[in-house]
């Protein structure tokens, strides 16, 4: 179906997208929105006001699954009221056959099921639903090629996500992502640089490069030369207009000395790294298939800090992985103390059907998991509070995201080190880089005032 024909069927329709999960999903939703806008659709704030609702799902933990089914249940009423309403579900959950089967059998009001590899086909599927009054389930197991040139409706005018690669080859034994996102594929470096130059021309100041493991980026350029992740950073650092480069996520096993040097050489690369450790116990790391041990991780942190003394570091930690003993958990607490994280995301281990760890026999009882989780969160929060308190009196460059949700006279933004800052200011500052004097460091954010 061509774009004009799709436009004929979709022009003027109102859509609403509900997004669960990580930045990959957020960015996929931006692409879905971009494609719909291109065909004359307009976004509305709630499913009840929409003609088309799209739920972009995440499967990383069980509570993500539960939230999805709860939300899906609510769409039934809208469909009953409005028979022309189209309910669509996509994202990581839809890459699992048992979930597709459940949706089809228990939620018959769903019109379109699509996956993570065929987002570009969504306008055509939607047009078919309107044109031919049919229901569609189309999910590809993996993507043959990367589809370039899709539009995106960005959440912010001044910052943007940029996918540099798709998929994951690591098969950490707890994780569903390699099954829902397929194998690693890197975009060509020119495609990435062109996209970022275009964003810069459009006023974007900060880009966040996305990949499940950006350190294993291997892109081939037009001359056949292979670029690694550090090469790409050097390339982006040369693009005028871009002021900040961030990336998510970087796997410790592949973090190169060349990337650490890029922090030193590239002014635009923010002095911040999210470096998921998952556990501080060598036994657990081995069973997670993470391919590094605590010594190597601590060495990496040491190298980063020697090269970039003011670097801020955050992490992900899983509590209660199968077989985790109190001693293993103590090793995690010890590692957290040794690193001194600025912040950390902590997760209770969640069994994911189809992953190796789901079959491990020595699952940790729920009460033990929760008790360890609370102890870890206390330690991490105390560490964050201490780190943030040390910012008092410092002047930080803040890229302003806009008014805070709670108070329109308070602006929020991020420091180079990715710390959230609130300060009194006016909405005109949105999208600008300002100097903020930090007046208070709290556990999860900083407070400040515009520096004179």
Alpha-carbon gap, residue 42 to 69, rounded angstroms = 26
User: In the numeric block, which tokens belong to residue 166?
Assistant: 């798709």
Residue 59 interacts, among ligand F3S, ligand SAH, ligand SF4, none and using kind-specific CB cut-offs from 5 to 8 Å, with ligand F3S
Q: Is 26 in the site for ligand SAH (CB under 6 A)?
A: no
Task: Tell me how many residues contact ligand F3S (CB under 6 A).
Answer: 12
Alpha-carbon gap, residue 185 to 168, rounded angstroms = 8
Q: Which is nearer to ligand SAH, 85 or 272 (CB)?
A: 272
- In 3D, which of 303, 382, 297, 308 has the Cα closest to residue 331? 297
Of 194-202, 328-336, 343-351, 397-405, which part binds ligand SAH (CB under 6 A)?
343-351
Choosing from 251, 287, 372, 387, the residue that interacts with ligand SAH (CB under 6 A) is 251
Q: Is 285 in the site for ligand SAH (CB under 6 A)?
A: no
Alpha-carbon gap, residue 305 to 35, rounded angstroms = 43
Residue 352 interacts, among ligand SAH, ligand F3S, ligand SF4, none and using kind-specific CB cut-offs from 5 to 8 Å, with ligand SAH
Between β-strands 42-43 and 52-57, what pairing exists: parallel, antiparallel or unpaired?
unpaired
- Three-state DSSP at 420 gives strand
Residue 178 interacts, among ligand F3S, ligand SF4, ligand SAH, none and using kind-specific CB cut-offs from 5 to 8 Å, with ligand SF4
Q: Is 349 in the site for ligand SAH (CB under 6 A)?
A: yes
Q: Is 181 in the site for ligand SAH (CB under 6 A)?
A: no
Alpha-carbon gap, residue 149 to 151, rounded angstroms = 6
- Residue 287, judged by CB atoms within 10 A of its CB (0-12, 13-18, 19+), counts as buried
CB of 354 to ligand F3S, least distance (A): 12
Alpha-carbon gap, residue 90 to 83, rounded angstroms = 21
Choosing from 281, 350, 384, 388, the residue that interacts with ligand SAH (CB under 6 A) is 350
Alpha-carbon gap, residue 337 to 60, rounded angstroms = 27
Give the DSSP H or E segment for 104: helix 97-106
Q: Is 92 in the site for ligand F3S (CB under 6 A)?
A: yes
The b/e string for 252-281 (b: 16+ C-beta within 10 A; e otherwise) is bebbeeebbebbeebebbbbbbbbbbbbbb
Q: Is 177 in the site for ligand F3S (CB under 6 A)?
A: yes
Choosing from 94, 175, 193, 336, the residue that interacts with ligand SAH (CB under 6 A) is 175
Cβ neighbours of residue 365 closer than 8 Å, sequence gap 6 or more: none
Residues 8-27 close enough to bind ligand F3S by CB under 6 A: 21-22, 24-25
Choosing from 58, 165, 207, 273, the residue that interacts with ligand F3S (CB under 6 A) is 58
Choosing from 26, 124, 237, 316, the residue that interacts with ligand SAH (CB under 6 A) is 316
Residues 194-213 close enough to bind ligand SAH by CB under 6 A: 212-213
Torsion over CA: 341, 343, 346, 352 (sign): negative
Q: Which is nearer to ligand SF4, 115 or 413 (CB)?
A: 115
Rule CB under 6 A: which residues touch ligand SAH?
60-61, 174-175, 177, 212-213, 249, 251, 276, 278, 316, 318, 347, 349-350, 352
């Amino acid at each position: 179906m061509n774009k004009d024909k799709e436009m004929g069927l979709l022009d003027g329709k109102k859509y609403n997208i509900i997004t669960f999960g990580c930045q990959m999903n957020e960015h996929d939703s931006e692409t879905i929105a971009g494609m719909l806008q291109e065909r004359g659709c307009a976004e509305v704030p709630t499913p009840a006001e929409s003609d088309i609702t799209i739920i972009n799902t995440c499967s990383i933990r069980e509570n993500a699954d539960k939230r999805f089914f709860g939300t899906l249940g609510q769409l039934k009423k809208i469909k009953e009221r409005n028979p022309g309403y189209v309910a669509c579900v996509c994202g990581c959950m839809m890459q699992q056959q048992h979930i597709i089967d459940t949706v089809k059998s228990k939620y018959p009001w769903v019109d379109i099921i699509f996956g993570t590899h065929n987002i570009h086909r969504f306008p055509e599927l939607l047009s078919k639903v309107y044109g031919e009054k049919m229901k569609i389930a189309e999910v590809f197991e993996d993507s043959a090629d990367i589809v370039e040139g899709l539009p995106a409706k960005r959440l912010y005018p001044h910052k943007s996500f940029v996918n540099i690669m798709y998929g994951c080859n690591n098969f950490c034994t707890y994780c569903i992502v390699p099954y829902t996102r397929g194998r690693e594929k890197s975009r060509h470096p020119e495609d990435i640089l062109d996209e970022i130059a275009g964003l810069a021309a459009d006023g974007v100041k900060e880009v966040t490069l996305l990949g499940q493991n950006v350190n294993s980026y291997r892109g081939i350029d037009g001359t056949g030369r292979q670029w690694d992740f550090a090469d790409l950073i050097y390339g982006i650092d040369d693009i005028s207009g871009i002021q900040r480069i961030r990336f998510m996520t970087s796997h410790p096993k592949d973090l190169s000395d060349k990337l650490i040097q890029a922090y030193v050489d590239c002014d635009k690369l923010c002095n911040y790294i999210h470096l998921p450790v998952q556990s501080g116990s060598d036994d657990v790391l081995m069973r997670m298939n993470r391919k590094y041990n605590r010594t190597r991780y601590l060495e990496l942190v040491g190298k980063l800090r020697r090269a970039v003394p003011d670097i801020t570091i955050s992490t992900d930690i899983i509590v209660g992985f199968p077989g985790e003993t109190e001693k293993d958990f103590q090793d995690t607490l010890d590692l957290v103390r040794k690193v001194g994280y600025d912040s950390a995301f902590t997760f209770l281990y969640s069994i994911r059907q189809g992953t190796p760890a789901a079959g491990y026999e020595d699952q940790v009882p729920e009460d033990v998991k929760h008790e360890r989780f609370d102890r870890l969160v206390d330690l991490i929060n105390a560490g964050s509070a201490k780190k943030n308190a040390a910012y008092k009196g410092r002047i930080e460059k803040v890229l302003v995201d806009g008014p805070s949700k709670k108070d329109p006279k308070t602006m929020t933004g991020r420091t180079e080190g990715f710390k959230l800052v609130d300060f009194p200011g006016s909405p005109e500052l949105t999208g600008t880089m300002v100097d903020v004097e930090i007046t208070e460091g709290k556990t999860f954010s900083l407070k400040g005032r515009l520096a004179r």
